[in-house]
Amino acid sequence: MTEPIRNKKNIKALVRYFFAKGQYRNHALIVLGLYTALRISDLLGLRWDDVYDEETKEFREHLRVTERKTGKLKVIALNKQVYKALELLMKQRKSEFLFPNNRKKPAPLGRVQAWRIITEAAKALKFKGCIACHSLRKTFGYHAWKIGTSPVMLMDIFNHTSYAVTRRYLGVSQDERDAVYLKIRLY
Q: What is the pTM of this model?
A: 0.91
Instruction: Catalogue the active-site residues.
Output: 39, 69, 134, 137, 160, 169
Is it the case that residue 93 has pLDDT exceeding 80? Answer: yes
Cα gap 134→152, rounded to integer Å? 21
What pLDDT band is residue 174 in, cutting at 50, 70 and 90?
Answer: confident
Is it the case that residue 164 has pLDDT exceeding 90? Answer: no
Residue-wise pLDDT for 98-115, tens only, equals 999 988 788 999 999 999
Domains of the chain as residue ranges with CATH:
8-137 (1.10.443.10)
Residue 59 carries which DSSP code? E
Cα gap 124→136, rounded to integer Å? 17
Q: Which amino acid is at 87?
A: E
The per-residue pLDDT for 62 is: 97
Q: H helices within 54-150, ranges in order? A: 80-90, 111-124, 133-146
Neighbours of 35 (CB within 10 A): 20
Distances (CA, A) of 47 to 33, 36, 123, 158, 165: 15, 15, 29, 22, 31
